[in-house]
């Protein structure tokens, strides 16, 4: 009926257009957009961040050479060769030799092994203890929080070098004592981050909803609180790896850590210091790799942070 007498101010519209629109029910959710979980979103954002991906690539290359590098060269990392002291890089010694005639290529990648091991093991130890302690502080709150918090504050107040020296006096200087010494105080930062996250999340309504459905504490912590704190945890983890690597190099440089003939970047840099004007490659390779590794970890960590929380991006 409506179609028979139409009057428009444009005049030229086909009256048939004024027939009732037959609607096909539309999906309430935007169609076309692929459904992505929060995790997939994060991976996608990380994947499209070229700086982070380049850093990841560099780290993978370093890991590859740390594993296979030493065995690629026919020279091992510990044998002195008095006929081949302070040689420049060549086809035989790819990175040259040091003052005792040891192969810098093998030593550098052996040092990478130690650095990466220290970085990863120390970070994992921080993660385990930090998440456990922080989780308890955040979830229980009250007295538990207060006691654990005081305890960590006391630990935090002990000078870190003192701890390292004490531990190495008691247990001797090697890689594992460094890791132990770093872990004694290293977890505190992680625990505070986890504590803050959990405290904030445990008042979210979905946690209350789970409780109203009869969920116990275990379920809530494991299924709701920890997964939703993963972002800051992973970011803190990624950023604590380079600081552990640097700490190991620094302590070994001072002679408090890994001891010669074991190869560590810190030891190598210390050895090369005396003669770097004459044999710069002895310093260049360990110091350069230390720098690149730390930079790559930091940039990758930043990329992760942006991927987890795009609002933080500057």
Partner 1 sequence: MSKSKSDALIQIDGLKKYFNVGGGTLKAVNDLSLSIRQGETLGVVGESGCGKSTAGRTILRLYEPTAGSVLFNGEDIYKMNGSKLKAARRNMQMVFQDPYASLNPRWSVESIIAEPFKLHNLAGSRKELRYKIEQLLDVVGLKPEHADRYPHEFSGGQRQRIGIARALAVDPSFIVCDEPISALDVSIQAQVVNLLKDLQRDKGLTYMFIAHDLAMVKHISDRVAVMYLGKMVELADAEELYADARHPYTQALLSSIPVPDPDVEAKKERIVLKGDIPSPVNPPSGCPFRTRCPAATERCASEVPELREVKPNHFAACHYA
Partner 2 sequence: MSKQDTVLSVKDLEVQFNTRGGVVQAVRNVTFDLKRGEALAIVGESGSGKSVSAQTIMRLIPTPPGKIKTGSIVFNGQDILKMSEREMEAIRGKEIGMIFQDPMTSLNPTITIGNQITEVLIKHQKMSRQQAKDRAIEMLRLVGLPNPEQRYAQYPHEFSGGMRQRAMIAVSLACDPTLLIADEPTTALDVTIQAQILELMKDLQKRLGTSIIMITHDLGIVADMCDRVIVMYAGKVVEEGTKEEIFKNPKHPYTRGLLRSLPRLDQPKDEPLIPIDGTPPNMMHPPIGCAFCDRCGDAMKICAEQDAEITSHSETHASRCWLNHVV
Q: Given the rule CB under 8 A, which residues bind partner 1?
A: 27-30, 33, 35-39, 204-206, 208-215, 219, 224, 227-228
The C-alpha atoms of residue 283 and residue 196 are separated, in whole angstroms, by 42
> Does the footprint of partner 2 cover residue 21 (CB under 8 A)?
yes
Nearer to partner 1, 9 or 203 (CB): 203
Q: Is 103 helix (H, G, I), strand (E, B) or coil?
A: strand
Joined tokens for residue 62: 């370093």
Query: What residues numbered 281-310 form the site for partner 2, per CB under 8 A?
Result: 310
Q: How far is the CB of 89 from partner 1 (least distance, A)?
A: 50
Note whether 73 and 285 are within 8 A (CB).
no
> Does the footprint of partner 2 cover residue 169 (CB under 8 A)?
no
Q: Is residue 105 classed exposed, middle or buried when 0-12, 13-18 and 19+ CB atoms within 10 A define those classes?
A: buried
- For partner 2, which stretch binds (CB under 8 A), given 2-10, 36-44, 56-64, 72-80? 2-10
Joined tokens for residue 129: 């203890």
> Does the footprint of partner 2 cover residue 8 (CB under 8 A)?
yes
Nearest C-alpha neighbor of 268 from the set 97, 116, 65: 97
Nearest C-alpha neighbor of 38 from the set 307, 313, 311, 312: 307
Q: Which does 31 bind (CB under 5 to 8 A by kind): partner 2, partner 1, none?
A: none
Nearer to partner 2, 20 or 277 (CB): 20
Query: What residues numbered 27-66 form the site for partner 2, per CB under 8 A?
Result: 28, 30
Q: Which does 228 bind (CB under 5 to 8 A by kind): partner 2, partner 1, none?
A: partner 1
CA 247 to chain centre: 15
- For partner 2, which stretch binds (CB under 8 A), given 21-29, 92-100, 259-267, 291-299? 21-29
Residue with tokens 């029910």: 25
Q: Which does 19 bind (CB under 5 to 8 A by kind): partner 2, partner 1, none?
A: partner 2
The C-alpha atoms of residue 187 and residue 127 are separated, in whole angstroms, by 7
Q: Which residues bind partner 2 (CB under 8 A)?
A: 2, 5-10, 13, 16-21, 23, 26, 28, 30, 310
């Amino acid at each position: 009926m409506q179609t028979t007498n139409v009057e428009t101010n444009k005049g030229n519209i086909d009256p048939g257009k004024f027939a009732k629109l037959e609607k096909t029910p539309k999906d309430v959710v935007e169609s076309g957009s692929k459904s992505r979980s929060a995790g997939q979103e994060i991976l996608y954002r990380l994947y499209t961040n070229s700086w982070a991906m380049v850093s990841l690539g560099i780290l993978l290359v370093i890991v590859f050479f740390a594993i296979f590098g030493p065995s690629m060269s026919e020279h091992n990392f510990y044998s002195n060769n008095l006929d081949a002291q302070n040689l420049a890089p060549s086809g035989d010694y790819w990175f040259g030799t040091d003052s005792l005639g040891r192969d810098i290529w093998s030593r550098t990648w052996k040092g990478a092994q130690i650095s990466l091991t220290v970085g990863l093991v120390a970070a994992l130890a921080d993660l385990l203890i930090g998440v456990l302690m922080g989780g308890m502080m955040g979830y229980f709150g009250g007295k538990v929080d207060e006691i654990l918090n005081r305890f960590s504050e006391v630990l935090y107040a002990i000078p870190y070098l003192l701890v390292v020296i004490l531990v190495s006096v008691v247990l001797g200087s090697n890689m594992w004592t460094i890791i132990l010494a770093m872990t004694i105080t290293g977890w505190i930062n992680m625990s505070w981050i986890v504590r803050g996250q959990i405290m904030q999340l445990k008042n979210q309504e979905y946690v209350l909803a789970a409780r109203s459905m009869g969920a116990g504490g275990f379920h809530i912590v494991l299924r709701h609180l920890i997964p939703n704190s993963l972002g800051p945890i992973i970011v803190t983890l990624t950023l604590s790896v380079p600081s552990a690597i640097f700490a190991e190099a620094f302590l070994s440089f001072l002679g408090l850590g890994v001891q010669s003939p074991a190869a560590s970047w810190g030891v190598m840099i210390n050895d090369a210091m005396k003669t770097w004007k004459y044999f710069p490659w002895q310093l260049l390779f360990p110091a350069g790799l230390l720098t690149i590794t730390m930079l790559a970890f930091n940039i990758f960590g930043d990329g992760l942070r942006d991927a987890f929380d795009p609002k933080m991006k500057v």
